[in-house]
Structure 1
Amino acid sequence: MHEYVIETDCLDIELVEPQIKYAEDIWNFRQKIINNDANSEDQFAGCGCLGKCNSVEEWIRICKLRNSEETCNEGGTTVPSDMYLAVRKSDDRIVGIIDLRHHIDHPILGTWGGHTGYSVRPSERRKGYAKEMLRLNIKNARALGIKKMLVTCDETNKASELTIISNGGIFEKSIEVEGTMIKRYWIDLKKVGEDG
């Protein structure tokens, strides 16, 4: 079992929309994920199409298209979503990327995709950033009017499971998706405190 160290600066992050000023860091983040998580099917969880885009500009354009019901189809999806960079305030560095789907009225999202996915920069893992990213994204979900969030993880991903549970996730059930067991958790936004 891994030991998880919570750093004192892990709360010093904010979620911001993708911006061109972070272009170099976004592309660096992308490369670190490619290098570190090459064998993971979920290597770009919560990052939209970052792994398939040829430039940061293309990714930002697609993220903006996906923000609304009217334009999300042009962005390659039928469910609108918001994308956020998790930026550490002390050095303005991206520590992770997280998305928020406006609803899960979709066969994949309603079954195992859920309302949100996230990836943490490999060098910043096991420091508590995913927990704080999800906590901040719960606030975004509440602002959108979402009452309950479905958040899922692979049965073997104990770090993600702890992140979900620490943010009020209640286990519903495990399901099998293409040979992988996925755990479904619900976060009741009426029961989770306003501060997360």
Structure 2
Amino acid sequence: MDTIRLISPDHDHAKDIWAFRSEILENDADSEDQFAGCMSLDTCSSIEEWIRICELRSNKATCGEVGSQVPSDTYLAVRQSDDRIVGIIDLRHHIDHPILGTWGGHCGYSVRPSERGKGYGKEMLRLNIQNARKLGIGKMLVTCNADNLASEKTILANGGVFEKTIDVDGAQMKRYWITV
């Protein structure tokens, strides 16, 4: 696996963000979690709109303008060797919210289909744990569908401690805590 870094969405990566979006839509059409951690990338009509939404969501004073009650930061996981986006991950500043505190957790992430199985999800979460530490988050709730073994391995590799499985509208979700 090549080295990656997490950066805020920017216009320099606009074409690759849209290519990432297209790849997810094409390869994960049957997945309800296809855009986990990507905010509203699937419903935006332009990169400019999505970057603006990410900016507004990152601030407590403006996150409500885009329908969010909890501020969050969105990061592009960019491979350093070729500046290609390999994934997108977000970090919610807190989980004092009925959905986030139950099954949404502190973060969600999506790895580009052509880059899966290379360890990028594990590294994205590791780097995001460092971001959580900077925000003063002591423990992160990270969840995954019970049948998503790749995500479960990613969480466990980053120190996730299984708490329990819960039912969310007929789907089984596993809850893990990571000490930051």
Give the TM-score category using the shorter length: over 0.9
Which residue in 1 is equivalent to 2:107?
116
Question: Equivalent of 1:44, from 35, 43, 53?
Answer: 35
Is 1:161 the counterpart of 2:152? The answer is yes
TM score, norm. by length of structure 1: 0.91
Q: CA RMSD in A?
A: 0.5
Is 1:80 the counterpart of 2:71? The answer is yes
Cα distance in 2 for residues equivalent to 1:186 and 1:166: 12
Which residue in 2 is equivalent to 1:192?
none
Indicate the SS of the match to 1:38.
Answer: coil
Cα distance in 2 for residues equivalent to 1:144 and 1:152: 20
Which residue in 2 is equivalent to 1:135?
126
Which residue in 1 is equivalent to 2:166?
175
Cα distance in 1 for residues equivalent to 2:145 and 2:114: 21
Overall identity of the aligned pairs, in %: 69
Is 1:20 the counterpart of 2:7? The answer is no
Structure 1 stretches lacking a partner, 5+ long: 1-6, 190-196
Which residue in 1 is equivalent to 2:117?
126
TM score, norm. by length of structure 2: 0.99
Which residue in 1 is equivalent to 2:137?
146
CA contact 1:100–1:141 (8 Å) conserved in 2: yes
Which residue in 2 is equivalent to 1:98?
89
Cα distance in 1 for residues equivalent to 2:124 and 2:44: 23
4+ runs of 1 displaced by more than 2 Å?
none
Structure 2 stretches lacking a partner, 5+ long: none
Indicate the SS of the match to 2:154.
Answer: helix
Is 1:62 the counterpart of 2:53? The answer is yes
Kindly provide the amino acid, as one letter, of the partner of residue 69 in structure 1: K
Cα distance in 1 for residues equivalent to 2:44 and 2:24: 14
